[in-house]
Structure 1
Amino acid sequence: MFHHVKAVMILSVVAVFAACSSGSFDSQKSTQTAVPPISVQLWSVKDFIKSDFKGTLKAIASMGFEGVEFAGEYGPYKHDPVGLKAYLTSIDLKVSGIHVGLGQLRWKNLDKTIDFAKKLGAKMIIIPAATEAWTGEGIDRLIEELTQLTMSLGKHGLVLGYHNHKQEFEDYKDSTFGIT
Structure 2
Amino acid sequence: MKIGLIVEGDSDKAFFDNYFMEKFAFDKRNLLVLTSGKKKGQCKIENKQIIHAHIETLIDKKCTHIFILVDLNTQSKEQKKYECIILLKNDYIKSVNLKKFEDKFSSLKVIVVSQEIESWLYSAWDFSDNKMKKDLNLLFKKIEESKKKRYISLNEKDLLKKFISYKKPLDLTKNKSLKYFMDKLEQCK
Asked which structure has the greater RCO (Cα within 8 Å, sep 6+), the reply is: 2
Smaller-chain TM-score range?
A: 0.3 to 0.5
Q: Say which structure is richer in helix.
A: 1
